[in-house]
Each structure stands twice: as C-alpha cells, then as structure tokens.
Amino acid sequence: MPPAKPRLVVLKGSERSHSPETRRLGDADAHQTLTLILVLRPGRPVPAPDDRYWSMPPHERPAEMRPALDEVPSASEDDAQKVIKFVEESGLSLLEANLARRLIEVSGEVAAINAAFGPPRVAPIGRRRGLIR
C-alpha cells in the first residue's frame, strides 16, 4: 500500500527559480534517484549585528564585531522530527540529519519527490543545464 499523501503547504518565500540562462533538456526519468538537501530554520532567532556593524565596509569591521559561528543556533529537535516524519511518510529515504548545520539530506525517485512535494509550480523536474537560484 503506498504511503498516505501528506497535507502540502507552500511556504511563502521558499520558491526557487531557474536562471534565465538555463534551458530545459527534457523530462527526468520517473525512476531516477535524486538527492535533496532540506535547510531547516534556526531553532531560535539569530542574533543580528547592530547598525554600526552594517555601516562599516566589510574589510574595516573588527573581528570582535563579526557574529561568531557558534552563535548561530541549530535547528530545533521538534522541527527536525516533523521533517523526518514527513520524509518517512512520503516514502523517501533519510540519508542524514544534522541539526547543528540545520540540514536534512533525503533521496528518492523523481516520482516520489513529485508526489511528496506536490506538482512543480514552474516546470516539472527535468534535466536542465544551468544554475538554480
């Protein structure tokens, strides 16, 4: 029995478009395996530097004013578990979950990815040459 289709929600601002220089080469094979890296939101608000930091050219900013990498929060365990549950219910494979880097790596066939994430709103997954922004 195929997995139940989860309720799909479009996250405003999460859309990505193809560069104008790309050209479509054809449909992707529905049985081809793709790997996706999902980026999770920070588990708590990211501290922003003050106005003085942004008013200075980058090469003039003192090192102590730069945000430390260890200050960037990891993903929340709750968010990660929700994504992992979605991945498993969608029939995709979980390859890695790294909360510190806020990344979840998954893989699956093109058909399963289209079913999990809904029909593409711009163009179907296909073979392309160029960059995706």
Which of 121, 64, 76, 131 lies closest to 100, judged by CA? 76
| CA pair distance 3, 16, nearest whole angstrom | 27
Q: What is the pTM of this model?
A: 0.64
Alpha-carbon distance values, 125 to 12, 50, 100 (Å):
20, 42, 30
- Count CB-CB contacts under 10 A for residue 77: 10
Q: What is the pLDDT of residues 24-76, one digit of tens each?
A: 777 788 899 999 999 998 888 777 777 888 888 888 888 777 766 566 788 99
What domains can you pick out in the chain, each with its CATH number? 23-40+75-129 (3.30.70)
The answer to whether residue 95 scores a pLDDT higher than 90 is: yes
Token pair, residue 19, equals 């560069």
H/E element, 114: helix 110-117
